Amino acid sequence: MKVLVVGSGGREHALCWALSASALVDSLYCAPGNGGIADVATCIDIAPLDFAKLTSFCHDEGIDFVVIGPEGPLVAGAVDHLEAAGIKTFGPSQAASALEGSKAFTKELCTKYDIPTAAYGRFSEPDAARAFVAKKGVPIVVKADGLAAGKGVVIAESVDQANAAIADILGGRFGEAGNEIVIEEFLEGEEASFFALVDGHTALPMVSAQDHKAVGDGDTGPNTGGMGAYSPAPVMTKTLHDEVMGRIIQPTVAAMAAEGCPYKGVLYAGLMIDEQGPKLLEYNIRFGDPECQVLMPRLKSDLLPALMAARDGALDQLDLRWNDRTALCVIMASRGYPGDYESGSSIGGLDRLAELDDVIAFHAGTKRDGDSIVANGGRVLGITALGDDVKSAQLSAYRAIDRIEWPEGFYRGDIGWRAILREKQKA
C-alpha cells in the first residue's frame, strides 16, 4: 500500500517510524515532513491545510490511505475533503473534531451526557467572565475555546491573574480561537493521558501516558505543547482504566453518535485523577505530542491495520499487543520557547545515538541543510528511550541527550519524576 502521513512534528515522525515497519506499506510519504522524517519516508512539500494539493498528490501517486497527524487540518475538515474525493483517511470528521476544536462544545456534551468534568462557565464578554471569577474564587482555570497550540490555558492563582488572562484571550491573542473562553474550577490531583481508537461505535483502549506541560523542572513556568512524556502512567490502574472506559470514553462515543457526528480516529482524553475518581480535563482528536513518541515504541502490533479498522468501523475485530517495558521521551527545545526563540542553529551528535540500544531520536522542529540538521521550531527533538522501569528509561534518555551537541537548546531534567517518586514510596 501507498500511505501518506500529514504533518511535520514529532508525532508525525513517530507515526512514520511505526508505519515504516508495517509489512503492508510499500511506499510511505509525509507532507511536509521534517529533517528526521526524511529518513523513513519521502517528504512532500505540501502544507497540511492545502487540501487541494493533498488531494491532487493522492490521486497522482495512487495513495491508498492517509493519516492526518495534527489537529489543525482535522478541525478545518481535512477528512471530509479527502473522503469526498474518494481517498480513505484516518481521523475524525470536521463535525466530530469539535471535541478539540471547541472546549465549550465538549463541556456542554459532558453536561448533557453526565460525563465527569470540572464545573465551568463559557463567556464571550469580559465583564461576565470577571464576575464569574469573583464569585467562584481562585485558583481557577481560563481557557481559549479554540485551538491555541497547547498555550491557551492559564491556571490563575489570583483574581488579577485570571482577569489578565480573560483580557488577553478575549482581546485577540489567539485570534478566532479566543472569541470565546471557558472558565472552570481548578482540579487537584494527578494528570494522565488516556488513548483509545474509535470507529464510530467501538472504542479500543490503548496504553496510558503522562505528559509534562510546564516548561521548567518541578512543573514550573508557562505551559507548553509538552516537554516530555512516559508510558505507562503508574496512576492508571486496571480499576481506574475500567472506570475511564465506562464513565468517560464509551459515553462520549455514544454521545457523539447520538448527536449525529460519530467519532472515528484516536480519542485522547486528558484526565485529572483525584480521590473521587477520574474527571475529563479536555479531549484531543489526535495522538498526543509528545505522547505519541512513547506510545509507538511500545506498540508491538502493526499500526496500519488498526488505523484502517478505525476508519472502516471494524475495531470489534481487532486487538492490540503492547511491550511491557516503559518508554520515556525528553523534549529538547529552542532556548526561549514557549516564548520567542531563534531557528537555524546546527545540531550535532545525532549520529552517535545509533550506537545506543533502545533509543530513538524523533524529530519535531528540524530541517536538513546539506548534510546538517538544524533547528526549525520551538520543540525540536524528542529523545525516547525504553527501559524496564521509568528510572532506567529516564537514565537512558538523558545519557543519549549528553551525546547531542546543541548549545542553543534546552530541556527539562526531571521527566518522569512523578512515577519515580511513586516507585520510591512503594519500595
Tens digit of each residue's pLDDT (9 = 90 or more) over 274-307: 988 999 999 999 999 999 999 999 999 999 999 9
C-alpha cell of residue 257: 453518535
Q: For residues 269 and 142, what is the distance between their CA atoms, to the nearest angstrom?
A: 19
Q: For residues 359 and 382, what is the distance between their CA atoms, to the nearest angstrom?
A: 10
Q: For residues 293 and 302, what is the distance between their CA atoms, to the nearest angstrom?
A: 16
Please give the domain boundaries of the chain with CATH numbers for all domains. 2-91 (3.40.50.20), 119-185 (3.30.1490.20), 190-317 (3.30.470.20), 326-426 (3.90.600.10)
Candidates 174, 222, 211, 228; CA nearest to 338 is: 222
Pairing of β 42-43 and β 372-375: unpaired
Indicate yes or no: pTM above 0.75. Answer: yes
Q: Is 159 exposed, middle or buried (0-12, 13-18, 19+ CB in 10 A)?
A: middle
Distances, alpha carbon 380 to alpha carbons 9, 10, 18, 231, 331, in Å: 8, 8, 20, 21, 7
The average confidence (pLDDT) of the chain is: 95
Residue pair 191/210 in contact by the 8 Å Cβ criterion: yes
Per-residue pLDDT tens digits of the chain, which is 427 residues long: 999 999 999 999 999 999 999 999 999 999 999 999 999 999 999 999 999 999 999 999 999 999 999 999 999 999 999 999 999 999 999 999 999 999 999 999 999 999 999 999 999 999 999 999 999 999 999 999 999 876 788 899 999 999 999 999 999 989 999 999 999 999 999 999 999 999 999 999 999 999 999 999 999 998 888 999 999 999 999 999 999 999 999 999 999 999 999 999 999 999 999 988 999 999 999 999 999 999 999 999 999 999 999 999 999 999 999 999 999 999 999 999 999 999 999 999 999 998 999 999 999 999 999 989 999 999 999 999 999 999 999 999 999 999 999 999 999 999 999 899 887 777 6
What angle, rounded to 10 degrees, do the helices at 126-136 and 159-170 form? 160
Q: For residues 277 and 116, what is the distance between their CA atoms, to the nearest angstrom?
A: 9
Residue pair 310/199 in contact by the 8 Å Cβ criterion: yes
Residue pair 223/337 in contact by the 8 Å Cβ criterion: no
Q: For residues 195 and 295, what is the distance between their CA atoms, to the nearest angstrom?
A: 10
